[in-house]
Amino acid sequence: MCAPGYTGRKRGQVVRTRTTVSQAHSYHWLGSFGNKGNGRYREELRKALGAIGRYLTAYQFPQARALVRLDGQYGLGAVVADVASFAFVTRGKEYTVLDCPLVQARLHLPPDQMQQRPESRTVRSLYDCPEVPVGPEGVVCRVVVATHPATEKKSPVGVTRAGVVYELFFTNLPQQGFTVCDVVELYLHRGAFESILADEDQEIDPDRWCSHTACGQEAWCIVSQWVWNLRLELGHQLKPEPLRTTEFAKAPSETNEQQSPTCGYGKPTVAIAFKAGRFSGQDFTLQPDGTLRCPAKQQLVAHERRWEADGSLRVVYGASIRSCRPCPVREQCQWNGGATAKPRQVSVLLHPVTVGSAPLLWQDWSRRTHRRACIHLLRHQRIEIQAEPGNDPNAAPPAVTPALLSRAERAHYRLSWAQRLARNARPETSGQVTIRLFGVPERFAASFGWAAA
């Protein structure tokens, strides 16, 4: 996640931006990286990817089993190149991709799938473009275009053109494993960070920005995430529960669609030359306006769509007879040379993509239960702290004289680190401190190695 400069609700003093890494299935924080102002998102992203790599190494997971879900801040061609070593899904903001002839031609063909969120009435038409150059660098990746009619003058997400809202999603997941609907759902599903940040605002008090200096803010973010992760682990000791398994996407064989495939289409294919020296369908190029252009620069318009027995979609394009009759290359184009009286037709075949037969399963823990079980336990504890006498039990307590305050101390200016350490230091002559907790479950205490009464 990379958000705009955030002042920390009402008490922020220095505007900073942080990039955070969270494990979507366990809700652990894996890292936090911040910089002043709007941050350095590419530098922070490289550090975040390093943290993810160390996490995978520690738990002996191969990198191929990790899926990185990125915020739309990273939807640029240059960033896609940085994260290409991982499987990734991100919302794109490189809207110049929509002007690419490959994408424009695909948008004039039928959509691969329709998608609708349970809590929304918006129905998105999804178009899969497997190999599209993104950005000035021309990084090739899989682009999913989601469209729906615009209900506002300017949509808060995506770009609006001619009354249609276009949203982009970039990924390198293979078509044979993840449909276009799977890609969009993976971005919008429980991997989203907004709900986790909302929980963090409620559970971590005081505010995450509680220091005037940048290093203090950074230290507080790290300590807060450590406390968050500790609550998760202690909560699992209190209430050990297995992972929940959700059927994220049904197996393709379980779909009930009969008329059209629900797994999307591959690249459009055309027939090869029927005779040596004659034009084939490969000589007719798709145009951004959804038409074909012949070698003589004439236009062919789609006038028929029909489903084949194997689920393929055949789109038939036809030229105008007024363009074909005076054409100088008619001998190379028509089946019987110049003898035929019919205009040229070209059929484009969209084959259905074959995806895996197994369903996609999502496993995770409850988002709040374990952390709040630990918080609830600690808030209902009784603690006794007993300090033993020092090395000399007969020594008289030192006389306490009122300290002379400086103007800075009187004004509650912040102390330096040396002053803080000197004020909080525990004397060497102090005795041992014994802490006794009441009401701690035995399993919870055993996880720390505490002695039970």
Q: What is the pLDDT of residue 4?
A: 44
**Residue 7: pLDDT above 90?**
no
DSSP string, 255-271: ----SS-SS-B---B--
Q: What is the pLDDT of residues 148-180, one digit of tens each?
A: 998 887 888 889 988 899 999 999 999 888 889
Q: What is the pLDDT of residue 57?
A: 94
Q: At 380, which amino acid appears?
A: H
**Residue 305: pLDDT above 90?**
no
Cβ atoms of residues 374 and 235 within 8 Å:
yes
What average pLDDT does range 29-50 have in this prediction? 86
Higher pLDDT, 189 or 293: 293
Which bin fits 8, alpha (ψ -120 to 50), beta or left (φ > 0)?
left
Q: What is the pLDDT of residues 54-95, one digit of tens each?
A: 999 999 999 988 999 998 888 888 888 889 889 999 999 899
Run of H or E residues at 216: helix 214-238
**Residue 324: pLDDT above 90?**
no
**Residue 3: pLDDT above 50?**
no
What is the phi/psi pair of residue 169, to 5°? -135, 130
Question: Could you give all domains of the chain from N- to C-terminal order, each with its CATH number?
Answer: 16-238 (3.90.350), 281-350 (no CATH), 381-448 (no CATH)
Q: What is the pLDDT of residue 433?
A: 85
Residues 45-81: b if buried by 16+ CB within 10 A, e if exposed:
beebbeebeebbeeeeeeeeeeebbbbbbbbbbebbb
pTM of the model: 0.75
**Residue 299: pLDDT above 70?**
yes
